[in-house]
Amino acid sequence: MRKDWAGFGVDLHLEVSTGGGRRRGLEEALRQAVRDGRLPRGTRLPSTRSLAAELGLSRGTVSAAYDQLVAEGYLATRPGSATEVADVSPTTLSRSEPPSEPSPGPGHHLQLPTGPSAAPLYDLRLPAGPSATPLHDLRPGQPDLSAFPARAWLRATRHVLSTAPAEVLGPCDPRGRIELRAALAGYLARTRGVITTPDLIVVTTGFVQALNLLVQVIDGPIATEEPGHDFYREVLRRAGRETVPLPVDGLGAQVDTLTGATAAAVVTPAHQYPTGVPLHPARRRALREWGGLVVEDDYDGEFRYDRQPVGAFQGTAPDRVVYVGTTSESLAPALRLGWMAVPPSLIGPVAEAKLHTDTHTEVLGQLVLARLIETHDYDRHIRAARLRYRRRRELMLARLGPGPGQPLPGVALPGVAAGLRALLLLPEEGPAEGELLAECERRGIALRAASPLWRGDGPGGLLIGYAAASERAYPHALEALARVLAGT
Ligand SMILES: Cc1ncc(COP(=O)(O)O)c(C=O)c1O
C-alpha cells in the first residue's frame, strides 16, 4: 500500500489541532494553508488514503474534510483527477505573488545596506573524505546516494538547458536565481510552515556557508548546542567567534540559559543534533521571547517518521529567525546547494556578504533544483526517501534496540523519530567507545564516535547513519554492527 505514496504530488506540513474534533481540525488546517497562500491555486492535494495514513486519521475523516472544503470553495475536484486548491484570493499576498523580475546582476538592482567594514578570512579546508566506499556504510549525515533522483535531475537539466535564455549565464543576483528563490519560498511555506518571500531568500552552498555569511553580519558571542555538531563549532571558531555552550536535555536546548550577552543561538529545533529530540513547546516560547538572533538549522526537517508534525520554528518568529535548509541530506551533499530565509533587517547585509564571498552560487544547479521543485519531482523524491528511511529506522530499532535478542543490553537509542541517523549511547559499564570503533574499523564498518559532539567529556556512544548504505547493503551493515556490539 505504501509503495505508491511517492506518486501523490505535493508534500505538505499540516498542524492538525484535535481540540474541536479531527475532521474540523484538518479542515481548519487546510483552510488556513489556502488562505495564507501556503497552498497556492492549482496545488494537487495528496489522495485521501495517503493523507489519512500520514496524519493517522481515517480515510473517511479526510474525505469528509475535503468534501467540506470543496463545498466552501477552497478546493475543487474534477472527475478522474486529484483534488486541487481552487481559485481563491489568499489574504496574505506576499507568498503567492509572481516572483519579481530577475535582477540584472550584482550592483545593478539590489540596494544593499552597508554591512560590516571587512570580511574575515576563512580557512576553507574541509575534513578529508574517506578514500573509498566502506564495506559497511553507516556514516551519519549522508543520504542513500544510490537513490539520487538521476532521471528527474536529467529531465530538469534538459529542460533548463533547452529553455533558459542565454542571460542566465551572465551575472546573477548574489541571493541566487529568482526562479529558485520563488520555488523555495512556496515549497518551504507548504512543507515546513516557513514565512518568507523570494526577496528574503539567499541561495547558499549549504549550511556551512550560511554560518560563514552570518558571522560576517553579526557581532558578539554565538551559542551552540551542547551536544552539537563539532564541525560547525569549528567553523565558528575558525571565524574567530566566541561560542557559548547551550546545554541540551530531554526537552531540547535549555534556552532559559541564554542571556542578553549572547548575540545569536544556532539551534536544531525540529530534531536536535545529535539527540534527536524536538524542542519542547514551552522552550519554543521561551526562545521566541529571548532577544537574540536565532539561527535555525533545519538540516533534516523533511524526514520525520512519526505523526507529530514539527514545523519550522521560523514560522513563529520570522523577524528574528534565520532559517537554514540544505539539499545535503535530501539529495546529495556534493551538490552544495542550500538556502537561508533571512529576516528583512538582515537581508541586505547577508546578500552583501554573499556577494563578497563568492559572488553567487553556481546557476545551472539552482535552475535545475527550481525545476525539480516546480514539477513536484522533489516532493516525490522526498516522500519516497522518507518511506525508505522509516523502514530502515524500524529495522535498526528491531535489531539494536531493547528487547529479546538485543546484541548489547543497556544500549539506549533516544530520539529516532526523525532524521537519517541515530545516537546509540553505550551502557556505563562498557564496552568503551574507542574499543568498539576500533573493532568496527577492523570489520570495515564506517560510523562515528559520539563523544566529540560534546565539548567536554561526553558519554560513550556511536552515531549511526542509516541512510548512507544502498537498500541491499543496509541489512548487512546493520548485522555487522550488531555482531560487533554483541562481541561475536
Ligand atoms: C547538523 C547538521 N547541519 C547541517 C548539515 C548540512 O550541512 P551542509 O548544508 O553544509 O552540507 C548537516 C549535514 O548534512 C548536519 O548534520
CA of 445 to the centre of ligand 1 (A): 22
Pocket lining: 326 vs ligand 1, CB cutoff 6 Å: yes
Interacting residues of 2 by C-beta distance below 8 A, sequence separation 6+:
53, 387
Give tens-digit pLDDT for 40-58.
888 888 888 888 887 888 8
Using a 6 Å cutoff on CB, does residue 338 contact ligand 1? yes
CA of residue 299 to ligand 1 center, whole Å: 6
d(CA 387, CA 54): 11
Q: What is the pLDDT of residue 221?
A: 97
pLDDT of res. 419:
85
Ligand 1 site, residue 276, Cβ cutoff 6 A: no
- HSE-up of 17 (CA within 13 Å, CB side)? 6
Q: Report the nearest atom of ligand 1 relative to the CA of 204.
A: 9
From atom 5 of ligand 1, which residue's Cα is the shortest distance away? 299
Check if 339 has its Cβ closer than 6 Å to any atom of ligand 1. Answer: no
Cα separation of 32 and 420, whole Å? 31
The Cα 455–Cα 444 span in angstroms is 28
Distance 143 CA to ligand 1 centre (A): 11
Listing DSSP states for 236-287 in one string gives: HHHTT--EEEEEEETTEE-GGG--TT--EEEE--SS-TTT-PPPPHHHHHHH
Judging by DSSP bridges, how do beta strands 338-341 and 321-326 pair with one another? Answer: antiparallel
Dump pLDDT digits (tens) for 218-254.
999 999 999 999 999 999 999 999 999 999 999 999 9
Contact 263, 218 (CB under 8 A): yes
Query: Is the CB of 329 within 6 Å of ligand 1?
Result: yes
**How far is CA 144 from its chain centroid?**
16
Mutate to test the pocket of ligand 1, among 142, 205, 207 (most ligand atoms within 8 A of CB): 207
User: If 0-12 CB within 10 Å is exposed, 13-18 middle and 19+ buried, where does residue 253 land?
Assistant: buried
**What 3-state DSSP class applies to 172?**
coil
Predicted confidence at residue 119, as pLDDT, reads: 34
Peptide bond into 269 cis (omega under 30): no
C-alpha angle 421-423-428 in degrees, rounded to nearest 5: 165
C-beta 297 within 6 A of ligand 1: yes
- For ligand 1, the distance from its centroid to the CA atom of residue 73, given in whole angstroms, is 41
| Whole-number pLDDT of residue 102 | 34
DSSP state, residue 39: S
CB 206 near ligand 1, within 6 Å: yes
Q: Is 197 in the pocket of ligand 1 (CB under 6 A)?
A: no
Q: What are phi and psi of 252, to 5 degrees?
A: 100, -160
H or E stretch including 155? helix 150-163
Burial class (CB in 10 A: 0-12, 13-18, 19+), 137: buried
Ligand 1 centroid vs 463 CA: distance in angstroms? 15
* Closest C-alpha residue for ligand 1 atom 13: 141
CA atoms in the 13 A half-sphere facing the CB of 473: 19
Is any atom of ligand 1 closer than 6 Å to the C-beta of 142? no
Helices (H) and strands (E) in the chain, counts: 13, 15
User: Would you state the cell numbers that stand for residue 104, as one nine-digit string?
Assistant: 540584472
Cα 353 to ligand 1 centroid, rounded to whole Å: 20
Tell me which residue has its CA closest to atom 12 in ligand 1.
299
Ligand 1 centroid from CA 69, angstroms = 39
User: How distant, in Å, are the alpha carbons of 187, 211, 217, 218, 312 from that of 325?
Assistant: 12, 12, 19, 20, 10
Strand (E) positions, 359-459? 421-425, 445-446, 448-449
pTM of the model: 0.80
| CA 474 to ligand 1 centroid distance, Å | 22
Cα of 139 vs centre of ligand 1, distance in Å, is: 13
For residue 210, the ligand 1 atom closest to its alpha carbon is 10
Q: Which helix (H) or strand (E) holds 297?
A: strand 293-297
Residue nearest atom 7 in ligand 1 by C-alpha distance: 207
Report the separation in Å between the CA atom of 225 and the middle of ligand 1, taken as the mean of its atom positions: 14
Q: Please give the distance of CA 337 from its chain centroid, rounded to a whole number.
A: 12
The ligand 1 atom at the shortest distance from the C-alpha of residue 338 is: 9
Nearest 5°: the CA angle 111, 114, 120 is: 125
3-class state of residue 5 by DSSP? helix
Mutate which of 248, 297, 330 for ligand 1? The one with the most ligand atoms within 8 Å of its CB, which is: 297
Q: Name the DSSP letter for residue 445.
A: E
Q: Which of 202, 323, 328, 447 for mutating ligand 1's site (highest number of atoms within 8 Å of CB)?
A: 328
Please give the pLDDT value at position 88. 64
SS3 of residue 320 by DSSP: coil
Query: Which residue has the least CA distance to atom 4 on ligand 1?
Result: 299
Sequential pLDDT tens for the chain (488 residues): 333 333 455 777 787 877 778 888 888 888 888 877 778 888 888 888 888 887 888 898 988 888 878 877 788 887 677 888 887 643 333 333 333 333 333 332 333 333 333 333 333 333 444 446 789 999 998 899 999 999 999 999 999 999 999 999 999 999 999 999 999 999 999 999 999 999 999 999 999 999 999 999 999 999 999 999 999 999 999 999 999 999 999 999 999 999 999 999 999 999 999 998 999 999 999 999 999 999 999 998 888 887 666 899 999 999 999 999 999 999 999 999 999 999 999 999 999 999 999 999 999 999 999 999 999 999 999 999 999 999 999 999 999 998 888 999 999 888 767 889 999 999 999 899 999 999 999 999 999 999 999 998 888 999 999 999 999 999 999 999 999 999 99
Q: Residue 31's pLDDT is what?
A: 83
What's at 367, amino acid-wise?
L
